[in-house]
Amino acid sequence: MSTETVNEAHDSDDGHDAHHEHHIPKGLLRWLFTTNHKDIGTLYLWFAFIMFLIGGAMAMVIRAELFQPGLQIVDPHFFNQMTTVHGLIMVFGAVMPAFTGLANWLVPMMIGAPDMALPRMNNWSFWILPFAFLILLSSLFMDGGGPAFGWTFYAPLSTQYSGDSTALFVFSVHIMGISSIMGAINVVVTILNMRAPGMTYMKMPLFVWTWLITAFLLIAVMPVLAGAVTMVLTDKFFGTSFFDAAGGGDPVMFQHIFWFFGHPEVYIMILPAFGIISAIVPTFSRKKLFGYASMVYATASIALLSFIVWAHHMFTTGMPVAAEMFFMFATMLISVPTGVKVFNWVATMWRGSLTFEVPMMFAIAFIVLFTIGGLSGLMLAITPADFQYHDTYFVVAHFHYVLVTGAVFSIMAAVYYWLPKWTGKMFDITLGKWHFWCSLISVNLLFFPMHFVGLAGMPRRIPDYALQFADINKWVSIGGFAFGLSQLIFLVLIIKACRKIGEPVSDQVWEGAEGLEWEIPSPAPYHTFETPPFIK
Amino acid sequence: MNRISTLLTGVMLAFSNSAIATTAAERSDLNLRPGVSDISLEVYDLHMLMFWICVVIGVLVFGVMFYSMVMHRKSTGAKPANFHENVKVEVLWTIIPFVILIAMAWPAATTLIAMEDTSEADVTILVTGSQWKWHYKYQDNPDVEFFSLLATQQEQINNKFTKGENYLLEVDRPLVIPTGKKVRFLITSDDVIHSWWVPDFAIKKDANPGFINEAWTNVNEPGIYRGQCAELCGKDHGFMPIVVIAKGPAEYSTWLQEQETAAIRANEEEQRLLAMNMSMDELMTQGKKVYDTACVACHQANGGGLPPMFPALKGSKIAMEKQNIPVHIDYIINGKNNMPAFGKQLTMSEIAAVVTYERNAWGNNTGDMVQAKDVNLMINGK
Amino acid sequence: MSKQSESKHTTEKSSAAFESERASDVQIPKTRAQMAAENAKTAKKLVFVVIGMLGFSFALVPLYDVFCDLTGINGKPSNEAAVYESVVIDESRTVKVEFITRTHSGMAWEFEARTADIRLHPGEMGEVEFYVRNPSDRDIIAQAIPSISPGTAALYVNKTECFCFKHQPLKAGEEALMPMKFYVDPQLPKDITVLTLQYTLYDISATVKPAAVVAMNNS
């Protein structure tokens, strides 16, 4: 892949460039009215990071309460609010906006487009997001507290047995949904219509591919979530009985609808991570990605399969054996394309010329730890064993392995990888290494022992536990606090990077980095590819 | 990276030790319990099989990766190879996992089918979950039915007393089942979704309001088996344990007979109490006892509640004003908003006592006395 | 304005350059306006998909019922009266049908089946009576919700008459016997020998139309 000399064209039109720079408003208004994909990407990433810290603070409350048996810090009702809002914030406030931020920054640069296809909608889709979370967080201060029914808000706990703040919860989920849908539409339109000449589908970087598929998943399932919360709202406040047996409804139907959204949602949070890892591993192996085409097909098949496995979250609700078998086999099947991806990454590293810069360290940690999460997922697919694992800390360990050491680690890897391109300066490498090693050790201390308490019989979402779980929970909590503190290193590093402290970097930044975004200057100019590059 | 592999090795050792050391009923703090029924043993074996398959896959994949990380470093002068595609390899590593999956699915399917044995059971027990307790009813002996509540004292939970050995895993009245017989559980709920989970039987079934679910076990060894509610069901989800005592068939039938006689005696006692008036002291003593088991978790020991979700009783209109006595009794019998109904859990004399207690404790000194017959009037209309 | 026209101008210039250089193997780059129109068109299509999926989420409600009727997920029996006509009785086996009666939390009625269980051949008519009494001092309208275990058996239980088909009003202190007639379809899978039919009574006085309460008080 190579491009025409874009930069020359850009430089030769100096007057034009200056003209643009002149029109960037300063201060708060710049950020409020910006339609520039790079600005909006930055906004998304900062928002996600702040939400990550807020949701993390809630996790600290949870781990402090669970540090030893007995009730010490919070009452059980508040504990339930913490687990609920922690889940909602991390899923909808941290991981998803972070990926959208990365898409905003990178997709146009990777396909040679000047901006996102619908810049004004882009501004809207970001700016409604803070309000959604203000509403959600403010509900915690309402009479009766915020939502306390788990992020999965199972009926009838969320309908007949919840507080009035449920209305705020529903409203905020609606806004989050609208924001994600607008973001997804923007990504799809950008990728379909705005590719530079010669950028055929099978030449697109995998990050673009995985985001295209993710965006389609979002468009397909976010409306289903909107439908589910709307039904909860009408059941609670307007006398319908979608989920109330007394009125001919069925509480189990809620779970079917929720997980019809929920399982693709899981892949929404991991497919872009696959794209990131597929960009980083080849760079630091100095070798092309192994099996590009099979990566694309694997991503697509994971996305398709994600629509027919939802009921594996519901094995204990009482299903006919035939249905249990179907969902068990379909779920196991997902491990095939997922395995293909892991094998491809390993094959990319095989006989490469490896170096271990900070992004690569996170990427390698991702491959190992995500695979551990994937393997425990395979164990969870086995229905008879799932009866024992379901709703225990084994499940908590599983999804934190795929979401924290999976999705979140991939986001951190991405930030370390592209940050020098965004700021034009190398980040503080020493701090980056500290951040990596502290995070790696503490995150495993935090989540690995959870497998064992889960197997030994500790249910999830409980504020207090039996004595035989005490030792492990203590270590888990220590791991939790350490992981929380480690993120402050990251905060310092990011602030330093944003203040442009550090060594200037070359355009390519990393030896071995390939792709359009590495051919533009560092830092990336405010406007790029105003004239489309040509890809051979 | 080495730390991870060290961790993995440590874990594998922990697992293999526990696999060797565990006998059937022994509790492991690190692994699944093999349990005490044929099915639970099958599930345990399946779990260990899956675990080892996953460990082998992990070791192979990470082994190759770590080898590459050591041998193909740029710092040792490794030059990158040029290959980036190989259809044969891709096909191979699609098919091999597929074959492994089939090998896994086969025993899983067999166990799953064995779990759904719908043949007639020797004992059928109706299990009903409600916030936050379990109710058991022996279908073949309709007189025997009881609620099973957490027996751990609030003071232990609030760190005022030392925690006992079975902290949070003890109940006032455990479920009793016979060994060597097929026991069927019909599981349902009175309010939100709960989940009845006894790890030693490998049973976890959701209790769905308005719907009925089924599970069964055939316990091989007498003993005490403990479990917990496994589905988030509101504030005290963490405080509704399950205790099952498995007794030999002879002991079991003795126990059952005792329960039947006790049920008849309790009924007679209730009738006797209906005919008489209790004194204020008796009502207050009895009332405090009831309050401490049924009401204290939400309304708190000082009657202050946790407003606004759980209102204070101290100084409340319902508990203070004379004309509200019927409302007060009605709330306890039938529940209100977030408050569950206690009409089925408490006897009429207990309801009378607790109403009296709430109207006279914590400075609520109204002097009102409620007798069992007043409650009877509300429940039975006579 | 000037900025727009200027940038348009640059794009046109460069597109001309592209055309001349490699007109044969490249699609012709579009102007900004063309591009924006095309983007809006694609976005519009996607909005339709979103609206369609929102509709689909609500369509899942009836679809779920259809799915239940087909597979017996969740043990929901049919809510309509079956007709007992030319049913062959399978005398080679008997099925035990158990009845469980429950009142939902806060429902004051007494409710019990007069027969705890019956044994019958598939295809044979069975009849059971249920006793209800309203001991409270207010009129209550009840709705009985049936559930069958094992769930798959729900497909084979055919009720020709059931109190659960409609609301059941009882005045304060009133009592009643409610009949239920049913047969088990001879197609019932051979491995099902016991099935449990549970009724849960709900107090729905507050949710049914006030008209019904008025009618009840007048009757």
C10, C54, C200: best to mutate for the A interface, most A CBs within 10 A:
C54
> Of B47, B48, B35, which is closest to residue B226 (Cα–Cα)?
B35
Strands C95-103 and C194-203: parallel
Query: Looking at A267, A389, A401, A417, which residue is catalytic?
Result: A267
Put simply, the answer to whether A250 touches C75 (Cβ < 8 Å) is no
- pLDDT band, very low/low/confident/very high, at C1 (cuts 50, 70, 90): very low
DSSP chain C: -HHHHHHHHHHHHHHHHHHHHHTTTSPPPPPHHHHHHHHHHHHHHHHHHHHHHHHHHHHHHHHHHHHHHHH-GGG---SS-----SPPP-TT--EEEEEEEEE-TT---EEEESSSEEEE-TT-EEEEEEEEE--SSS-EEEEEEEEEESGGGGGGEEEEEEGGGS-EEE-TT-EEEEEEEEEE-TTS-TT--EEEEEEEEEE-TTTS-HHHHHHHHH-
pLDDT of residue C210: 54
CA distance B256 to chain C (A): 19
CA distance A260 to A275: 24
CA distance A325 to A384: 10
Strands of the sheet containing C125-133, edge to edge, are C110-113, C125-133, C175-184, C157-162
Query: Looking at A139, A278, A331, A423, which residue is catalytic?
Result: A278
C74 or B276, greater pLDDT: B276
CA distance A42 to C88: 73
- For residue A388, the SS3 value is helix
- Chain B CB contacts of A285 under 8 Å are 72, 80
Q: Is the pLDDT of residue B36 over 80?
A: yes
Residue given tokens 């309208």 in the structure block: C141
Put simply, the answer to whether B334 touches C108 (Cβ < 8 Å) is yes
CA distance A93 to A55: 9
A448 and chain B in contact, CB less than 8 A: yes
CA distance B333 to B344: 8
CA distance C165 to chain B (A): 15
Spans in chain A with pLDDT lower than 50: 1-21
CA distance C101 to chain B (A): 11
CA distance A237 to A158: 11
Which segment of A111-120, B188-197, B330-339 scores lowest on mean pLDDT?
B330-339
Q: Is the pLDDT of residue C12 over 80?
A: no
A117 and chain C in contact, CB less than 8 A: yes
Put simply, the answer to whether A328 touches B112 (Cβ < 8 Å) is yes
- Chain B CB contacts of C106 under 8 Å are 334-335, 341
Interface residues from chain C to B (CB-CB < 8 Å): 74-76, 96, 98, 100, 102, 104-108, 116, 135-137, 145, 147-150, 172-173, 191-194, 196, 198, 200, 202
What tokens were used for A339? 């395995």
CA distance A306 to A428: 39
pLDDT of residue B18: 43
Q: Which of C6, C40, C60 minimises the CB distance to A260?
A: C60
Residue pLDDT, tens place only, B317-329: 888 888 888 888 8
Q: Which of C7, C39, C79 minimises the CB distance to A117?
A: C39
Specify whether A180 is catalytic: yes
Residue pLDDT, tens place only, B50-77: 999 999 999 999 999 999 999 999 999 8
Specify whether A451 is catalytic: no
- For residue A380, the SS3 value is helix
CA distance B159 to chain A (A): 6
- ipTM given for this complex: 0.90
Residue pLDDT, tens place only, A414-461: 999 999 999 999 999 999 999 999 999 999 999 999 999 999 999 999
C61 and chain A in contact, CB less than 8 A: yes
- pLDDT band, very low/low/confident/very high, at C67 (cuts 50, 70, 90): confident
pLDDT of residue C29: 60
Put simply, the answer to whether A246 touches C143 (Cβ < 8 Å) is yes
- pLDDT band, very low/low/confident/very high, at B331 (cuts 50, 70, 90): confident
What residues contact B126, with CB distance under 8 A and at least 6 apart? B136, B137, B139, B185, B186, B188, C100
Query: Looking at A10, A38, A63, A86, which residue is catalytic?
Result: A86
What residues contact C42, with CB distance under 8 A and at least 6 apart? A117, A188, A189, A192, A193
Put simply, the answer to whether B197 touches A459 (Cβ < 8 Å) is yes
C165 and chain A in contact, CB less than 8 A: no
CA A432 → CA A83, A358, A494, A535, distances in Å?
A: 30, 6, 10, 34
- Chain A CB contacts of C35 under 8 Å are 117, 193-194
Which segment of A497-501, B45-49, C67-71, C118-122 scores lowest on mean pLDDT?
C67-71
A243 contacts C73 by C-beta, under 8 angstroms? no
- pLDDT mean over B170-188: 94
Specify whether A39 is catalytic: no
Query: Looking at A10, A38, A195, A263, which residue is catalytic?
Result: A263
DSSP A31-84: HHH---HHHHHHHHHHHHHHHHHHHHHHHHHHHHHTTSSS--SS-HHHHHHHHH
B34 and chain C in contact, CB less than 8 A: no
CA distance C192 to chain B (A): 6
Q: Which of B33, B94, B309 minimises the CB distance to A336?
A: B94
Residue pLDDT, tens place only, C129-158: 999 998 888 888 888 989 988 888 888 888
- Chain C CB contacts of B381 under 8 Å are 135-137, 172-173
Residue B30: closest CA among chain A residues belongs to which residue?
Answer: A452
CA B165 → CA A432, A454, A475, B156, distances in Å?
A: 46, 20, 21, 11
- Touching B (3+ Cβ pairs <8 A), the chains are A, C
Residue given tokens 């990550």 in the structure block: A52
Residue given tokens 């919700």 in the structure block: C145
Specify whether A341 is catalytic: yes
Calculate the average pLDDT of chain A.
Answer: 92
Residue given tokens 């905003």 in the structure block: A104
> Of A474, A293, A491, A278, which is closest to residue A370 (Cα–Cα)?
A278
> Of A144, A38, A59, A52, which is closest to residue A101 (Cα–Cα)?
A38
- Chain B CB contacts of A467 under 8 Å are 163, 165, 167
Query: What does pTM read for this prediction?
Result: 0.89
> Of A440, A418, A425, A431, which is closest to residue A518 (Cα–Cα)?
A418
- Chain B CB contacts of C150 under 8 Å are 116, 118, 214
pLDDT of residue B304: 85
Residue pLDDT, tens place only, B244-297: 999 999 999 999 999 999 988 888 888 887 788 888 888 898 888 888 888 888
What tokens were used for B37? 């029924």
Q: Which of C7, C29, C207 minimises the CB distance to A197?
A: C29
CA distance C107 to chain A (A): 12
Put simply, the answer to whether C108 touches B210 (Cβ < 8 Å) is no
Write the class of the CATH domain C95-218.
mainly beta
Residue C144: closest CA among chain B residues belongs to which residue?
Answer: B210
- Touching C (3+ Cβ pairs <8 A), the chains are A, B
Cα C178 to chain centroid distance, Å, stands at 25
Q: What residues of chain C, 23 to 52, have a C-beta less than 8 Å from chain A?
A: 26-27, 29, 35, 38-40, 42-43, 46-47, 49-51
Put simply, the answer to whether C200 touches B119 (Cβ < 8 Å) is no
Q: Is the pLDDT of residue B2 over 70?
A: no
CA distance A378 to A362: 24
Residue A23: closest CA among chain C residues belongs to which residue?
Answer: C3
Strands B123-130 and B203-207: unpaired
- Chain C CB contacts of A220 under 8 Å are 49, 53
Specify whether A30 is catalytic: no
